């Protein structure tokens, strides 16, 4: 055969291989670990639908109604318009299962990276698997500070962690004593000094307890009672009794959905009367929390990263929240908002990498600097430090307020973003 023939065959082979590679990159698989069954199934469902909606309406298809660059793409531009495909895996809140699923997603589903896993305890094991295989994991929603203190090279966290959020709590308490809180005159510190906390006893709740203890000492407050409890417990009577017996000024919680509802119902039955009632996100901000408890949470505080009232100060927050509410009937919360940001971060990272090669994605994560105006959150942006922690995030504190027969979540911290007067003291239950 002639040299010309062999040359033509070689060119055709190259073109065929290139075509296969291009087709392969038209769909980019990302494994997403969420609790889709078990005690946290309601939360997992909400996280899943927020992530799916973001991929569908803000990345894979153009959306002219949203004022961010990504919504104009219709796919990942630097990957030939490739679409993101999210492959969900149900870890049920079980760390060992999360690790097994991460391995399966990497080896069997051939995902280019991972996202999740909501529970810090599951993120801890799943990210260890990703680290072992050299596969990028972008964490959207787990807040145990230790997750970004392990020296990992393949793990990045978009959300602020619990030290940021707990510091916000103590800045709010300090602000109350200094007259900085909207609608409230300065409160004598001795009315707020004694604190009691009850935190669920896993990686997340235990880390919240530690940060509360540390910041209480730093800010000059006194912890009179600290409790770690099983979030799956069907009865929290003894825990509630112990909190009330300590006679705290402030009650602080780190609870998932079912236990946060149970705790409030139990405390209501005992007519607990702290002056200040705060929850560390999670169950306290899920859509089913106010739906279930209604006026019983008037005056309850929750730390978060997203409140629908942000639409007043950030246009894109209102636009994306409107899309979510139109589809599902609920407002975005801090948890579901972080799922949105997780997918947003993956999209911008992939576009910067221009490749699905793990090393290229790793480099892009280390170099990415997403401006705040591109995000649904009220953050300055996303930029990871050497540990993989986003250093441009910030927290909010909201207060549930019963007005005109319905419950609203109002921003009360930061003080410059406050959307309503603060209710003080906590009105309790009659």
SS3 331: coil
The CATH superfamily of 163-304+395-417 is Response regulator (3.40.50.2300)
Spatial contact of 235 and 269, defined as CB atoms under 8 Å apart? no
User: Which residue shows structure tokens 């209710």?
Assistant: 423
Outline where DSSP puts E strands in 244-344: 250-254, 276-279, 301-304
Whether residue 4 is predicted with pLDDT greater than 80 in this model: the reply is no
> Each residue of 343-401: pLDDT tens digit?
999 999 999 999 999 999 999 999 999 999 999 998 999 999 999 999 999 899 999 99
Q: How far apart are CA 307 and CA 50, in angstroms?
A: 15
Q: How confident is the model at residue 17 (pLDDT cuts 50, 70, 90)?
A: very low
Q: How far apart are CA 171 and CA 197, in angstroms?
A: 17
pTM of whole model > 0.85? Answer: no
Please tell me the predicted confidence (pLDDT) of residue 339: 97
How many other β-carbons are positioned within 10 Å of the β-carbon of residue 132? 13
For the domain 23-160+335-383, what is the CATH code?
A: 3.40.50.2300
Q: Which of 375, 374, 420 is nearest to 397 (CA)?
A: 420
Q: Which of 213, 51, 36 is nearest to 122 (CA)?
A: 36
> Each residue of 216-256: pLDDT tens digit?
999 999 999 999 999 989 999 999 999 999 999 999 999 99
The residue-averaged pLDDT of 109-117 equals 98
Domain residue ranges in the chain:
23-160+335-383, 163-304+395-417
> Each residue of 182-212: pLDDT tens digit?
999 999 999 999 999 999 998 889 999 999 9
Classify residue 188 by its DSSP letter. Answer: P
The residue-averaged pLDDT of 167-191 equals 96
Please tell me the predicted confidence (pLDDT) of residue 181: 97
> Each residue of 257-271: pLDDT tens digit?
999 999 999 999 999
Question: Are 23-160+335-383 and 163-304+395-417 the same fold in CATH?
Answer: yes
Residue 75 zone, left/alpha/beta (φ > 0; ψ -120 to 50; rest)? left
Whether residue 67 is predicted with pLDDT greater than 70 in this model: the reply is yes
> Each residue of 273-324: pLDDT tens digit?
999 999 987 889 888 999 999 999 999 999 989 988 888 888 999 999 999 9
Whether residue 20 is predicted with pLDDT greater than 90 in this model: the reply is no
């Amino acid at each position: 055969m002639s040299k010309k023939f062999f040359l033509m065959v070689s060119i055709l082979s190259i073109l065929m291989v290139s075509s296969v590679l291009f087709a392969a990159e038209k769909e980019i698989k990302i494994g997403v670990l969420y609790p889709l069954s078990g005690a946290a199934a309601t939360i997992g469902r909400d996280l899943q639908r927020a992530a799916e909606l973001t991929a569908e309406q803000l990345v894979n298809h153009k959306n002219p109604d949203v004022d961010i660059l990504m919504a104009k793409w219709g796919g990942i531009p630097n990957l030939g318009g490739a679409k993101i495909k999210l492959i969900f895996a149900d870890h049920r809140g079980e760390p060992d299962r999360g690790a097994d699923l991460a391995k399966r997603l990497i080896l069997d589903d051939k995902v280019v990276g991972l996202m999740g896993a909501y529970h810090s305890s599951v993120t801890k094991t799943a990210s260890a698997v990703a680290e072992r295989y050299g596969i990028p994991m972008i964490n959207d929603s787990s807040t145990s500070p230790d997750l970004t203190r392990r020296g990992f090279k393949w793990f990045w966290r978009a959300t602020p962690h619990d030290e940021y959020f707990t510091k916000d709590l103590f800045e709010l308490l300090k602000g109350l004593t200094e007259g900085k809180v909207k609608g409230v005159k300065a409160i004598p510190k001795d009315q707020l000094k004694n604190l009691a906390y009850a935190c669920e006893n896993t990686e997340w709740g235990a880390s919240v307890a530690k940060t509360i203890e540390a910041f209480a000492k730093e800010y000059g407050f006194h912890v009179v009672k600290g409790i770690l409890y099983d979030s799956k417990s069907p009865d929290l009577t003894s825990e509630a009794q112990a909190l009330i017996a300590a006679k705290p000024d402030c009650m602080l919680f780190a609870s998932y959905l079912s236990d946060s509802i149970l705790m409030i119902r139990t405390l209501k039955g005992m007519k607990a009367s702290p002056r200040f009632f705060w929850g560390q996100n999670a169950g306290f901000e899920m859509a089913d929390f106010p739906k279930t408890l209604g006026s019983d949470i008037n005056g309850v505080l929750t730390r978060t990263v997203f409140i629908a009232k942000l639409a007043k100060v950030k246009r894109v927050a209102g636009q994306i929240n409107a899309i979510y509410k139109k589809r599902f009937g609920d407002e975005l919360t801090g948890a579901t908002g972080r799922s949105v940001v997780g997918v947003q971060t993956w999209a911008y990272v992939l576009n910067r990498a221009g490749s699905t090669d793990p090393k290229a994605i790793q480099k892009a994560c280390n170099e990415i600097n997403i401006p705040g105006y591109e995000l649904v959150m009220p953050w300055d942006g996303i930029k990871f430090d050497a540990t993989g922690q986003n250093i441009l995030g910030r927290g909010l504190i909201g207060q549930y307020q019963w007005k005109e027969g319905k419950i609203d979540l109002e921003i009360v911290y930061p003080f410059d973003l406050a959307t309503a007067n603060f209710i003080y003291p906590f009105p309790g239950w009659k």
